[in-house]
Structure 1
Amino acid sequence: MTTHRYRSHTCAQLRKSDVGNSVRLSGWVHRVRDHGGLLFIDLRDHYGLTQIVADPDSPAFK
């Protein structure tokens, strides 16, 4: 089973059709790149790799 209470998808399951949807991923941070106002986070699990684009000024980071 690849889904559980902390994960709705694996990194390999995400597609373009998931853009804008809320999903829960579980894995480890492989790499973080700060491009001045945006963070690009590579999240890896046992099934694949997903790039997360995050705004460090977002209330979620406070």
Structure 2
Amino acid sequence: MIAGVGFGVARSFLSELFPTRYRYTAVRLSYSLGGVLGGAIPPLVAASIGSYGSVTCGVLLTA
């Protein structure tokens, strides 16, 4: 729910950063790369702090 708010705003913000000729490609690429990085980093961090217990991993992934 909270992540959806950020992605909705990002889409309208990104469209104004690029010239009209490249807008669709640039916005789609930026949006996709942001989703990949945002979705890949938390599980990697959670795996490295797994020795602290499952509650710590759960708190990290919900934040």
Bigger Rg, which one: 2
Q: Give the TM-score normalised by the residue count of structure 1.
A: 0.19
Q: Which structure: greater helix fraction?
A: 2
Q: Give the TM-score normalised by the residue count of structure 2.
A: 0.19
Which structure's relative contact order is higher, taking Cα pairs within 8 Å and 6+ residues apart? 1
